[in-house]
Amino acid sequence: MIFIIVLLVLFFDQLTKFFAAKTIGLNQSIPVINNIFHLTLVHNKGAAFGILKNQTLLFTAISLVTIFVICHHLRKKRGKGLDIFTISLSLILSGAIGNFIDRASLGYVVDFLDFRIWPVFNLADSAITIGAVLLGFLILKSNKEKKQN
């Protein structure tokens, strides 16, 4: 099941980035819902929100370490069923791989989802964020349970 989650998220991430790059001009914005949601093609050479621009080598290395560590943890969980922890790591892994592919092949990450109140992002970023929120929830829940015992 882990493989299916990672494969599906990775497939749709790369597919949507491909279509965005082929149909939207760089820095062009196409309103889907005017002033709320646009498709805006951006080449992000930094990290989240474009911070630390032109640090492609650093982010590529961080991505590789993240991918390795998560794969190691998921391999230990193989065959033990699917739980929220496994789903969260699978989402983070698929997002890390998706953005790694961009950095390694293009030198930047393709971003195109633009809600106007937030920096432009992509499906890989969404998967990482959802996975991190789930993981954070599990950590908080675990800490609360430990304090009660």
* Active centre residues (catalytic): 111, 125
Query: In angstroms, what CA-CA distances link 44 with 1, 28, 29, 122, 130?
Result: 31, 14, 15, 11, 20
* 76-81 contact pairs (CB < 8 A, 24+): 77/2, 78/2
Closest CA to 114 of 10, 42, 63: 42
